[in-house]
Structure 1
Amino acid sequence: MEITDEDVWAREERLWTGGADAYAELLDNDALMVFPEMGALNAASVRKSIERAPRWESVDMRERSLVRPAQSLIVIAYRAESRRSEEPAYAAFCSSTYRAVGNGWRIVQHQQTLAN
């Protein structure tokens, strides 16, 4: 199943700025995500937290890297700077792993480390 690099980055941006609908479409049921303030969360916990969390208004993903270690896997890494209305910017080093599932690609891993 083919997916362009641009489509991968567009999916990643949707996970930052989109709501519960983006996670329903893109998050694998077996996903694990690690956030600095929340620790490790499984897919059910992530979906629940997204329902009540304010979404980012924008995200700037720099220092992008993308590798395809297998036909059904894509791993990305980048530095993110995101913003919500009047809050200070949030900066983190991030990685995500996507795998081909059925007729689409779903995120199975995401990790954030605060950038100082």
Structure 2
Amino acid sequence: MDDDRLWGFEQSLWTEGPDNYREKVDAEVVMVLPQPPFVHQGSQAIDAVASTPVWDSAELTEQTVSRPQEGLIVIGYHVKAHRGDETYEAYCTSTIRRIEHEVWRVVQHQQTPPLVTPAKI
């Protein structure tokens, strides 16, 4: 998967609905999310994410990509997502593996909100 497609794939997980999660997230996924119970696996993880409202937009910055082996991609980034007047920020990682030709699934995802809000100048 080239970088443009990779980042479009990841961004769609922020801005598209539950059917998209169920298509792109592996049944054995492990997720760490910033709300109890924090650590989620499999269908519990998919349900936790699918039950949250979809974001209107998501800006992915500070993007890093690692391809440690054929068919495995690890990414890290900062997200700033908006929905109406609500904003959410986090530092994230995702691991995506190829299932078959042109079919990819998220097998790991983690979100860490910033611990300190930057001072406004």
The question of a shared fold, defined as TM-score above 0.5 by the shorter chain, is answered with yes
- TM-superposed CA distance for 1:49, in Å, is 2.7
Uncovered stretches (5+) of structure 2, i.e. residues with no partner: 117-121
RMSD: 1.2
Contact 2:93 2:110 in 1 (8 A): yes
**2:8 aligned residue:** 10
**2:51 aligned residue:** 52
TM-score (norm 2): 0.87
CA separation in 2, counterparts of 1:5 and 1:36? 27
- Give the residue type in structure 2 aligned to 1:82: A
Uncovered stretches (5+) of structure 1, i.e. residues with no partner: none
Q: Which segments of structure 1 move beyond 6 Å, counting only runs of 4 or more?
A: none
Contact 2:32 2:111 in 1 (8 A): yes
**1:100 aligned residue:** 98
Identical aligned residues as a percent: 36
CA separation in 2, counterparts of 1:69 and 1:51? 29
Q: Matched residue of 1:15: which SS?
A: helix
**1:43 aligned residue:** 42
Deviations 1:28-86 (A, max 9, x none): 11101111113011130133234432111111111100010000110000011111112
CA separation in 1, counterparts of 2:81 and 2:11? 10
CA separation in 2, counterparts of 1:94 and 1:51? 17
**1:24 has 2:22 as partner:** yes
**1:80 aligned residue:** 79
TM-score (norm 1): 0.90
**2:69 aligned residue:** 70
> How many pairs were matched up?
113
| C-alpha distance 10-20 of structure 1, shift in aligned 2 (>3 A) | same
